[in-house]
């Protein structure tokens, strides 16, 4: 049988190229990304992380093996603590107050992505959930390294680039890939297909998240 992560990676090759080519990531890499776009991204990302941490905690609760439980429980805490520290620095630089962040409501894309993760967490299988969780790690590692390889000096977004191209983060990504492959190894063909679909859906949402920040996305009516 083929390895799930290899199938999923091949299956999303075109999407990943599109993510590399996004105007948001192009501008982040050369440091020209406008402050309003990065601010929007930071605030939406703080909202995303809270829900992502819930999805990770649910994966920890559902995991059939202690190694996966530990990894997801730790990642849930890190999503709240480590990522919040990164955000804290940028919140200060970009003048985002805690009140402003707390009062913000999710954009359509942020809402769609987090609800997809939470509905998978609560109505899908453990296998589907880990496949939905994986792109958040893997795509950021891929994009972090891609951008680190082409960025220049004095980039105002260097702390973001360093976080996601760091070797320790790479180790965490490898661990989640291994957990996902273990889950897939004993899954039926139907379950593996559902896993692929979930992986692809989250990868689409990762593209949409950066795109929505670049467009400063709003709800089309009523807000």
Ligand X SMILES: Cc1ncc(C[n+]2csc(CCO)c2C)c(N)n1
Per CB under 6 A, 116 contacts ligand X? no
Per CB under 6 A, 11 contacts ligand X? no
From 78, 166, 174, 211, residue interacting with ligand X (rule: CB under 6 A):
78
Per CB under 6 A, 83 contacts ligand X? yes
From 4, 52, 90, 214, residue interacting with ligand X (rule: CB under 6 A):
52
Give the binding range for ligand X (CB under 6 A) out of 11-19, 43-51, 92-100, 148-156: 43-51
Return the active site residues.
136, 206
Per CB under 6 A, 75 contacts ligand X? yes
Give the binding range for ligand X (CB under 6 A) out of 77-85, 96-104, 123-131, 179-187: 77-85
Question: DSSP for the chain?
Answer: ---HHHHHHHHTHHHHHHHHT-HHHHHHHHT---HHHHHHHHHHHHHHHHHHHHHHHHHHHH-SSHHHHHHHHHHHHHHHHHHHHHHHHHHHHTT--HHHHHH----HHHHHHHHHHHHHHHHS-HHHHHHHHHHHHHHHHHHHHHHHTT--SS-TTHHHHHHHH-HHHHHHHHHHHHHHHHHHHTS-HHHHHHHHHHHHHHHHHHHHHHHHHHTT---SS--
Of 22 and 75, which CB lies nearer to ligand X in the complex structure?
A: 75
Per CB under 6 A, 136 contacts ligand X? yes
Rounded least distance, CB 24 to ligand X, Å: 11
């Amino acid at each position: 049988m083929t390895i799930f992560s290899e199938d999923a990676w091949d299956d999303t090759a075109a999407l990943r190229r599109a993510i590399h080519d996004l105007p948001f990531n192009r501008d982040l890499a050369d440091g020209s990304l406008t402050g309003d776009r990065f601010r929007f991204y930071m605030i939406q990302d703080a909202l995303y992380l809270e829900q992502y941490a819930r999805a990770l905690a649910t994966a920890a609760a559902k995991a059939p093996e202690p190694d996966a439980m530990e990894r997801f429980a730790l990642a849930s805490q890190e999503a709240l603590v480590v990522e919040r520290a990164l955000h804290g620095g940028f919140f200060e630089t970009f003048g985002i107050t805690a009140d402003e962040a707390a009062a913000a409501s999710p954009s359509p894309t942020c809402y769609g992505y987090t609800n997809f993760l939470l509905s998978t967490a609560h109505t899908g299988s453990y296998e589907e959930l880990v496949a939905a969780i994986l792109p958040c790690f893997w795509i950021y590692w891929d994009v972090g390294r891609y951008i680190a390889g082409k960025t220049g000096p004095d980039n105002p977004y260097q702390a973001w680039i360093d976080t996601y191209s760091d070797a320790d983060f790479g180790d965490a990504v490898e661990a989640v890939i291994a957990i996902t492959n273990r889950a897939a190894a004993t899954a039926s063909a139907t379950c593996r297909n559902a896993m692929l679909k979930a992986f692809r859906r989250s990868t689409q949402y990762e593209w949409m998240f950066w795109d929505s920040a670049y467009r400063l996305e709003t709800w089309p009516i009523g807000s």
